[in-house]
Structure 1
């Protein structure tokens, strides 16, 4: 199992690492071109679109993969998922356009309200549940890797042009969202022929969707969607909270700190993508010991190199921060070091998240995610006012700790229990 996971993750990893490095460089170029204050404005404007996009992106690919493996009516699954995505897309776009002026006025960004409204159209196109579900189900991980590479390459080119031409906030906001959108179009095109062929072969089996089966599928997708909503604070809403509680300039610094840490996320992201379907297969075979063994091995394999990289980066901050970004960012040197250390530990425990979901703890996942992110928001509001950006870093550390403490013991207990019962039944 571990060998297969590493091989498949490696395909995505190669693409994601390249994309991550390019995005890292794009942020560095953008900061140099705009300065930390204007870069903070870019971050706040982008965060508005991305937060609403996340709210109305149901992540229904997880349900698609789960039910593709056990149900024959793939056409019915795709139709239901497309309807869910379309409703969310329209509602999200309308909300973003309607609230854009109020948001811009709140952060004294009124001059950019019109571009914010136009940028809201990104939400309409960023509905990828069917595309991601189909490509992952078919194990076409190279295609998914290419999506991030295409977006990263295009935005890197745009950032270089923006720096060269001395372009402003609106340019960097729109080009970032446009390049993300082109990546979405790419995977939609790749899965298009398969989806069309499935829909053409749709038959009376679709009637089976009416009843408990359909309710189960919709209930699963709705719960996953609610969990994704609960997890938004740690993904994008934190940028907005930092801008509101600390300052616009601090938002720019915080965006850079997160971008630095994102490189490790690009390593673990592919791992999650291949681990989830693989764990589902092993659980169906009642191979509980294999799941536990792979999880612990992956945690160790991630923890050791992560800590080594953080140690090296911490020692050399006075050199690479001004070289890559600017002297202004050295004020936040210790914030960066602390965040990298905490993030490295949290990154090592990444395997617990897909395993927790695969074990069927959908409702518990929602409660844990909601609780930990509520703590994050409260922590940013309280500690951010008292300690500035350092308080924000502490709040994120608490959120990471809560997530690990609530998930890992439950996973270990469940796997041990199921393994014992499985052995008893076979003796």
Structure 2
């Protein structure tokens, strides 16, 4: 499968997801208050956070090590890690909820049961790793597309109760990922005879990589998911509703970069394995130039179309936030120019350093949110750009300039 087809398939899946989220936000904002929409956003943040916290992202280990070790063996180790970790984190969550928040459990029992059961399958690392290592990005895109279409129908015809709508969304995603998981398991069984035993050192490498990846994912939560919870606590549900719309709009821009990031990771891993460092430099330059052009064009269109979209899509509820949206998109655009550093960092294998970098930048971000809370959205924007600067600077330093950490370039 050539790289252009991979890019297009991932892009179509991501853009369908982003567009549906954007349209759903417009539908809910039109019929609900910004505060009620903020409540729905918090529910979504909770399930996404739970999926990340509850299990290691073993797909990264599968993609990286499938070039060195038989895929079935990597899948077997990854499945074991994912299942065991999820069992224990679900058990811990149950005891915390039962003994500390019993009234919340009783009031939201269906929501909690659905989230815990389907949380194991949603974004399963084994499924993601299998399809990405096999370059079958179109299957993952198909899952995203089907999910987006069904959610859009639900949101259009039934959105009076945001809690019921959220449970419906969890069920839709969960059912699709169960089907995908079943397919991967059948492929694993079919190719079981091709497996070969791997030594303890390789198992340890895979396990360490997976757990450091898990640490990276969890430490990044304050920026990717907990930001909404923190903003809701510090500034109120209405402001978190506005912030989430800004983030959704900016994510349309990010959907262009995500396919590049997904495809670059296995590509960088393969090139490093073959010693083609010069080719990696060429890809980095191409990605940076492309993302810069995309950012300039996107910002221009946003500036020109803002008034029309605000009036006809969001019922003029974002009239006061034009400058903040443009600034937020500028920050996101700048991050896209450096999007190549994240898959390259994974490919080089600096997961331990990455964990400490992400943890430091996330804590720095949270501290800034508390210090700048009186500035409202302006404070959030300042915290975002400073966190981005710290994160990118440290990752670039560790990959290109730090001679004491196994420098590759």
Pick aligned residue for 1:292 from 262, 281, 289: 281
Task: State the partner residue of 2:396.
Answer: 408
Q: For residues 112-151 of structure 1, what are the structure 2 equivalents within 5 Å?
A: 113-121=108-116, 122-126=118-122, 128-151=124-147
Q: Could you tell me whether the CA contact under 8 Å between 1:45 and 1:116 is conserved in 2?
A: no
SS in 1 for 2:135: coil
Q: For residues 27-426 of structure 1, what are the structure 2 equivalents within 5 Å?
A: 27-72=25-70, 74-99=71-96, 113-121=108-116, 122-126=118-122, 128-163=124-159, 167-199=160-192, 201=193, 205-206=196-197, 208-209=198-199, 211-384=200-373, 386-413=374-401
Structure 2 unmatched runs, 5+: none
Q: In 2, distance between residues paired with 1:294 and 1:349?
A: 12
Change (3 A) 1:103 1:403: farther
Q: In 2, distance between residues paired with 1:309 and 1:127?
A: 29
Query: Could you say what the CA RMSD is over the residues aligned between the two structures, in angstroms?
Result: 2.5
Q: In 2, distance between residues paired with 1:103 and 1:302?
A: 45
TM-score by length of 1: 0.87
Residue 315 (structure 1) shift: 3.7
Residue 24 (structure 1) shift: 1.2
Change (3 A) 1:176 1:237: same
Change (3 A) 1:113 1:12: same
Q: Could you tell me whether the CA contact under 8 Å between 1:13 and 1:267 is conserved in 2?
A: yes
Residue 49 (structure 1) shift: 2.1
Q: Could you tell me whether the CA contact under 8 Å between 1:147 and 1:183 is conserved in 2?
A: yes
Q: In 1, distance between residues paired with 2:106 and 2:302?
A: 38
Q: Could you tell me whether the CA contact under 8 Å between 1:34 and 1:169 is conserved in 2?
A: no
Aligned residues: 404
Change (3 A) 1:174 1:24: same
Residue 63 (structure 1) shift: 0.9
Structure 1 unmatched runs, 5+: 420-427
TM-score by length of 2: 0.91
